[in-house]
Structure 1
Amino acid sequence: MQTDFTATRALFDIPEGLIYLDGNSLGPLPRAVPGRVAQAMQAEWGQMLITAWNNAGWMEQPARLGDRVARLIGAEPGSVTLGDTLSIKVFQAVSAALQARPERKVILSDNGNFPTDLYMAQGLADLLATGHELRIVAPEAVEEAIDETIAVTMLTEVDYRTGRKHDMKRLTAKAHAAGALAFWDLAHSAGAVPVALAECGADFAAGCTYKYLNAGPGAPAFIYVAPRHAATVQPALCGWLGHDAPFAFEQGYRPAPSTERMRVGTPPVLQMAALDAALDVWDSVDMADIRKQSLALTDRFIAEVEAACPDLTLVTPRDHASRGSQVSFAHPEGYAIMQALIARGVIGDFRAPDILRFGFTPLYIGMDEVERAAAILAEIMATRAWDRPEFHARARVT
């Protein structure tokens, strides 16, 4: 059955008149979330107190919600668990890959990767102090750079700045042919584009749930471990809840026999309640429909903006196979232009040094909003409305 995007739009609480093109940074509030969080607070925490860990299923949340996320990223049941932050999950996955390839010392990434991934990898290499190297190349040079020295490729499928999309299947196959493992960051993929981790043969993946999955600020990250690795992967962060029997209170660490071993700390129960409600939106959604509509929306936005705003330079690929669900334009005054847009009710964001970034989520964005946003941007550019002192004042979050 075809996805009804009019129906999904009604599931979100977006202020009247606002055009929200920043779901690739923070998804909007699903209407069901406040009630579900209130239930977790009042009926569960308030009335059950500590018994809610058993009676309300709090301890099972990471695995149960992991399976719901798994459906959206083409992962096998039982292969995804939730908790902690994306940075932590990147560290876990990359460290596990290095332990599985002890004779190799190179982590391969690209210069379009999100900084936290690079920071985590470099920090891990420095911590190990055994000659490991983070090797960074241009995105288009990744395939050629994969050779027998690589322990793990660490790539974000969709570039956070440009929206450029890597070919997961091809690059994973190339890594495996060279004897390397493949880790994928899905921060800008999960809920935005169809993902097929199992089909592509990915070894590890991680992502956040506060962007396209709409679970709210601070929502937990997820980590994927291919079933073929689940019983042997060695977690560098050996948390209590990754233990095979946490309530045996053993002195030594004995990992759980599944992806559960990648759990670290106590699950954020209230945030997971928000995620649980947010994922309900996806029960009636087909990712193929999302992709088709996303490409239509981004095509229209590109055409409208390029026709009316010659001073803006498109940095997002035109080719559908190479594009995620966002569009980015470059301009030396990108920050001020974005602030002027936000003041007019069109919310996108800015990424240094000069990128205006717009996310397109068919769940709540339609063609009318796309055309209005492009028209407002054209007016701002034509009148130089962005060139006011208040639009040049830098806020802490851009």
Structure 2
Amino acid sequence: MTDFAATKALFELPDGVIYLDGNSLGPLPQAAGKTVARMIEDEWGQMLITGWNKAGWMGLPTGLGDRIGRLIGAEPGSVVTGDTLSIKVYQAVASALELCPDRRVVLSDSGNFPSDLYMVDGLLRSLGSDYELRVVAPEDVAAHITEDVAVLMLTEVDYRTGRMHDMKSLTELAHAKGTVTVWDLAHSAGAIPVNLSGCNADFAVGCTYKYLNGGPGAPAFIYVAPRLTDRVRPALSGWLGHEAPFAFDLDYRPGNGIERMRVGTPPIIQMTALSAAMEIWDMVDMADVRAKSIELTELFITRVEATCPDLTLASPRDPAQRGSQVSFRFAEGYAAMQALIARGVIGDFRAPDIMRFGFTPLYIDAQDVENAVKILTDIMTNRLWDTPEYKTRQRVT
């Protein structure tokens, strides 16, 4: 049984702050600063370039990949970290397309994170005018998985509302039509139990700066099903994905297994911070996280709907259909969120009218929820959001 009081004590949480935005950027693990400082001083400082061998820097991408893999139901040796999520989306979709050379359609939905769509649109434009990115409503995805679709690319948990796709059933439908699947787990990894192996997923990608607490700019990860790894040609044929990078051959030969999906030099400082966060995740059972998450989100919805009638639930009411976040619609949602942040309750806003709150049991408990709702109720009841300072949009919302 996961001890959430113990995990909460392992995070740096500022006094007077209730942090409901770990679905956007996770808070700092207390050990991260010392761990990174030790790496900088003892490894980079004293070992210099020999740290790649002596400190095991070169093995961090796959070592961290396996630790993340435990949280997402991935087989050992099937996940590697590095680069950014956008790069990994491009890499996964490009490789998936090559597995279906006679098809030209990538299917996605309008609830997908826009960056994923941007990357695929750019990729398809480079491939030629006969390629198509087909975007449909989330509820219509199943009906549009047809035999001309090469790749189904979906974000499992909708970033705005928390609505969840059924990975297993949609993957089964896709495979029945000969379609390859790419799943974005940005709002799944560390938030809900994921079973990539059990769902027979083909590719998956995700980031580590949200629920996994790797810090701003923390590296992304990519999963390739072991049954496909040796068939996959990495379209981004990076130096570190080469079979023998230090042979310095002019011709590219893909590395063995998931190593071939490496691209650039691993960001060792960021990976060291992520490693400190994974020490906490190594203590956690995802089934416990999910049960506590549902408890917290149900409490939040019940309390908010009882005291804030101007807010309309945007997330699915059924907890089995949503991730670890709750979103409410409000026409002045941006201003209301700024008023909340000024009072120490940090969530975020997503256009056009979504107030978004993330719930991470590793450091959020029921008392935090009760206190947050009291502050939100005061702001809504007394229209404390209705001031010019809260309506001025900042660069990051």
- Whole-angstrom distance in 1 between the partners of 2:304 and 2:157: 22
Q: CA deviation at 1:40?
A: 1.1
AA partner of residue 179 (structure 1): G
Contact 2:238–2:263, Cα closer than 8 Å, also in 1: yes
The aligned counterpart of 2:112 is: 113
The aligned counterpart of 1:363 is: 362
Please identify runs of 4+ aligned residues in structure 1 that moved more than 2 A: none
The aligned counterpart of 1:33 is: 32
- Whole-angstrom distance in 2 between the partners of 1:335 and 1:231: 48
Q: CA deviation at 1:156?
A: 0.3
- Whole-angstrom distance in 1 between the partners of 2:347 and 2:177: 40
Q: CA deviation at 1:147?
A: 1.0
The aligned counterpart of 1:321 is: 320
The answer on 1:56 being equivalent to 2:55 is: yes
- Whole-angstrom distance in 2 between the partners of 1:232 and 1:51: 34
The aligned counterpart of 2:349 is: 350
AA partner of residue 273 (structure 2): A
Q: CA deviation at 1:371?
A: 1.0
Q: Give 3-state SS (helix, strand or coil) of 2:204's partner.
A: strand
The aligned counterpart of 1:372 is: 371
AA partner of residue 23 (structure 1): G
- Whole-angstrom distance in 1 between the partners of 2:125 and 2:247: 35
CA displacement 1:318-373 (0-9 Å, x = unmatched): 11221100000011100000000000000000000110000000000000011111
- Whole-angstrom distance in 2 between the partners of 1:77 and 1:174: 26
- Whole-angstrom distance in 1 between the partners of 2:149 and 2:7: 43
CA displacement 1:31-78 (0-9 Å, x = unmatched): 010111011100000000000000000011101111111001000000
- Whole-angstrom distance in 2 between the partners of 1:131 and 1:260: 32
Aligned length: 397
- Whole-angstrom distance in 2 between the partners of 1:244 and 1:232: 14
Contact 2:298–2:319, Cα closer than 8 Å, also in 1: no
Contact 2:74–2:196, Cα closer than 8 Å, also in 1: yes
The aligned counterpart of 1:4 is: 3
Query: Superposition pairs for residues 1-398 of structure 1, below 5 Å?
Result: 2-398=1-397
TM-score (structure 2 length as normaliser): 0.99
AA partner of residue 228 (structure 1): R
Contact 2:67–2:282, Cα closer than 8 Å, also in 1: no
- Whole-angstrom distance in 2 between the partners of 1:146 and 1:230: 24
Identical counterparts, % of pairs: 67
Contact 2:107–2:152, Cα closer than 8 Å, also in 1: yes
AA partner of residue 80 (structure 1): V
CA displacement 1:291-336 (0-9 Å, x = unmatched): 0000000001001111111111101001122110000001110000
- Please give the root-mean-square deviation of Cα atoms over the aligned residues, in Å: 0.6
- Whole-angstrom distance in 1 between the partners of 2:283 and 2:125: 46
CA displacement 1:70-111 (0-9 Å, x = unmatched): 001000000000100000000000000111101111101000
- Whole-angstrom distance in 2 between the partners of 1:106 and 1:303: 42
Please, which runs of 5 or more residues in structure 1 have no aligned partner?
none
CA displacement 1:87-144 (0-9 Å, x = unmatched): 0000000000111101111101000000000001111110101511010011111111
Please, which runs of 5 or more residues in structure 2 have no aligned partner?
none
CA displacement 1:139-192 (0-9 Å, x = unmatched): 111111111011011000000000001100000001001110111000000000
AA partner of residue 148 (structure 2): T
Contact 2:86–2:119, Cα closer than 8 Å, also in 1: yes
- Whole-angstrom distance in 2 between the partners of 1:283 and 1:162: 28
CA displacement 1:267-295 (0-9 Å, x = unmatched): 00000000011000012211000000000
- Whole-angstrom distance in 2 between the partners of 1:305 and 1:115: 29
Q: CA deviation at 1:393?
A: 0.7
- Whole-angstrom distance in 1 between the partners of 2:131 and 2:159: 26
- Whole-angstrom distance in 2 between the partners of 1:163 and 1:24: 10
> Which one is further off, 121-130 or 28-37?
121-130
AA partner of residue 22 (structure 2): G
Q: Give 3-state SS (helix, strand or coil) of 1:228's partner.
A: helix
Q: CA deviation at 1:19?
A: 0.3
Q: CA deviation at 1:387?
A: 0.4
- Whole-angstrom distance in 1 between the partners of 2:167 and 2:85: 19
AA partner of residue 192 (structure 1): A
CA displacement 1:248-284 (0-9 Å, x = unmatched): 0000000002111111000000000000110000122
Q: Give 3-state SS (helix, strand or coil) of 2:51's partner.
A: helix
Contact 2:124–2:132, Cα closer than 8 Å, also in 1: yes
> Which one is further off, 215-224 or 276-285?
276-285
Q: Give 3-state SS (helix, strand or coil) of 2:141's partner.
A: helix
